[in-house]
Structure 1
Amino acid sequence: MCHTDVPHGQVTPAVDRREVRVPLATGEFMPGTLLTDGSEGPGILVAADIHGPSPFYDALAARLASAGYTVLLPDYFFRQGPPAGPDLESAFARRGKLDEARTLHDLDDACGWLAAETGSSRVGSIGFCMGATFTLDLASTRSDMVTVAYYGFPVPQSTLVAPPPRPVDLVESQRGPVLAFWGEEDRGVGLDHVRAYAGLAEQANPAFAYEILPGLGHGFLATSDIDDRTDPGGRTWHRVLHLFGDHLRDASGGTA
C-alpha cells in the first residue's frame, strides 16, 4: 500500500507554499512545491511514491517545514503528466513510462538547487517506496546528504521498464547519515535483499542505521499515528526528526 490521503485525524500544519521550477541539466524545469515556515532553514527533499506528490506527502512536507526546514516536494513525473485515474493500476501504467535512471539525475539536480537556495552544506532527503530507492541511491552518489528511506528497494523489481541504479550495487559508496525503515511483513520489497543491503551498508558507512519493524507491512506510515511516540510508526517519525535536527542544523549556514 502506498500513500495518497492524509491519515484520519492528522492535522496538516499551516505553512507557506510556493510553486517553483527546478532547473535541470537537460535544460528542462521540474515543477515542485517549496514549503517553509519563514525561517529559511536547511533544505529537505521529499521523494514521493508511485502516486507522486499526493496530499499525504504535502502534509508530511508541511510538518517538516513547520519544524523549521525548507522543504521541496518535486513532481518527478512531470514528463509523463498525471495518471489516467487515481487507482494503483493507472499509477503503475504511468510509472512504466518513467525513465528512472534519468529521474535520479533530476533529483540530484534538485538537491543541488535546494542546497544553493538554502546556503546549506548538507541537504536532507526523505523517500518512500520507489522514492526511497532514489534517496538510497543519492546517499551513495552525493557526499552532502542526510538520508531517510522508508521501505525502499535495495534491488528494484525485475518488472520495471526503466529501473534506477540498484542501491545494493552502490552501497559501498554510501556516505553521510542514513536512516532506513522497513516493515517485517513487507512481502514486495524482499527482506532477504534488505538484510543483505543493511549488512553491506553497516560495513561501508558508520553513519548508517536501520530498523525492520515487526508486524508492519509496506506503507506502514500511512496507518501510523506519527504524533504518538508509543506508536511504532510514530516512533520512526520522531527518529527522523532527531536525525535531521542533529545533522542539518549545523549545516545551515547560520540561517536556521
Structure 2
Amino acid sequence: MAKQDISIRTEDGTARAGLFRPSHPTTAGVILYMDAFGPRPALDAMAERLADEGYAVLVPDLFYRFGDYGPFDARTAFSEEPTRTALRSMIDGTSQDMTCRDTATFLDALTQAGATGRIGAVGYCMGGSRAIRAAAAYPDRIAAAASFHGGRLASDAPDSPHRHVSSIKGRVYVGSAGVDGSFPPEQSALLAEALRRAETDHSVYDERGAERHWKRLLTFFEETLR
C-alpha cells in the first residue's frame, strides 16, 4: 500500500487529497469523506486499512475552498476558541451541493487511478451525509454508501439526505451513535422510512463498537463492490 498526495481540479478550485493504492491492482475504489476536523493521520490510518483490503481509496479535503487551515485536535477543536468558530464557519460554508459537484472530480481521480469498477462511499460525522448524497447524485457509479455517526441525515433542510434517497441504485448502511443529538431516533425513523419507500437495499444500525464498525464496513463493501 502506498499513499500519494494529489491535487484535484474542481469547479471551484483545487482540492488536495490522499490517494491510497493497494499492493495489487484493483478496479474497486472507495471515497472516504472526512469528518469536520479535516484530513489528518487518523483518516489516513482508516484509508490504509481499506487499501490493505484491496481498495483504491481517495480521502479528499472538503474544506479546500478555505485555503490552508488546521490541523485541528479532535479532542478540543469544538470546545476552544478560535478553532470552534473556524470549524463552524467551514462546516456552514461547505454545502451538500458543493460536495456533490466535487464528487464528480473525485470519481474521475479514482478512475485515473485504475478504479474503473464499482465505487463505495463512506463518511464519518459530517462526511456520513456526504456519502449518502453522493450515492444519490451518482447512482450509476456508487454502488455502496456507508454513514457512521452521521448527523442531520433526515432533517428539515432542503438538502437533507433522506430527501434524495429515491435516486440511489446501490446499497446503504447507516451506523448511528448510541446517543447523538444530531441524529435522534425520530430522524433515524424518518430516514429508514424514506429508504423503505424508495425500495433501497439498506440497513440502519445502532453502532457502538469501533471494531464492530470495521467488520460491518468491510463485509458491506466486500459483498457489494467485488
| Superposed pair shares fold, TM > 0.5 | yes
TM-score range, shorter chain: 0.7 to 0.9
Shift in CA distance, 180/115, structure 1 to aligned 2, threshold 3 Å: farther
Shift of 1:105: 1.0
2:171 corresponds in structure 1 to 177
Measure, in 1, the Cα distance between the counterparts of 2:71 and 2:22: 33
Shift of 1:157: 8.1
2:154 corresponds in structure 1 to 155
Shift of 1:109: 2.4
Residue 208 in structure 1 maps to residue 208 in structure 2: no
Runs ≥4 residues deviating over 3 A: 82-85, 155-158
Measure, in 1, the Cα distance between the counterparts of 2:29 and 2:167: 23
Listed as ranges, the gaps of 5+ residues in structure 1 are 1-14, 159-163, 217-231, 250-256
Q: TM-score, normalised by structure 1?
A: 0.75
* C-alpha contact 1:83 1:91 (8 A) present in aligned 2: no
Measure, in 2, the Cα distance between the counterparts of 1:57 and 1:82: 18
Shift in CA distance, 236/202, structure 1 to aligned 2, threshold 3 Å: farther
2:117 corresponds in structure 1 to 121
Q: Which amino acid counterpart does residue 13 of structure 2 have in structure 1?
A: E
Shift in CA distance, 209/47, structure 1 to aligned 2, threshold 3 Å: same
How much identity, in percent, do the aligned residues show? 23
The alignment partner of 1:108 has SS state of helix
1:68-83 to structure 2, matched below 5 A, reads 68-83=54-69
Shift of 1:238: 0.6
1:32 corresponds in structure 2 to 17
CA RMSD, 1 decimal: 2.2
| Partner deviation per Cα, 1:31-66 (whole Å, 9 max, x = no partner) | 101112331222111001111112211110010011
Residue 199 in structure 1 maps to residue 193 in structure 2: yes
Residue 247 in structure 1 maps to residue 224 in structure 2: yes
1:220 corresponds in structure 2 to none
The answer to which of 190-199 and 86-95 deviates more is 86-95
2:8 corresponds in structure 1 to 22
Shift of 1:205: 3.2
Measure, in 1, the Cα distance between the counterparts of 2:126 and 2:50: 20
Measure, in 2, the Cα distance between the counterparts of 1:192 and 1:156: 10
* C-alpha contact 1:175 1:205 (8 A) present in aligned 2: no
| Partner deviation per Cα, 1:110-158 (whole Å, 9 max, x = no partner) | 1243134324231111101111111111121212211111122213586
1:108 corresponds in structure 2 to 104
Between the two proteins, the alignment pairs up a number of residues equal to 212
Q: Which one of the candidate residues 19, 23, 38 is aligned to 1:52?
A: 38
Measure, in 2, the Cα distance between the counterparts of 1:175 and 1:78: 29
Measure, in 1, the Cα distance between the counterparts of 2:114 and 2:70: 36
Measure, in 2, the Cα distance between the counterparts of 1:101 and 1:121: 25
Listed as ranges, the gaps of 5+ residues in structure 2 are 79-83
The alignment partner of 2:181 has SS state of coil
* C-alpha contact 2:154 2:190 (8 A) present in aligned 1: no
Shift of 1:107: 2.0
The alignment partner of 2:65 has SS state of coil
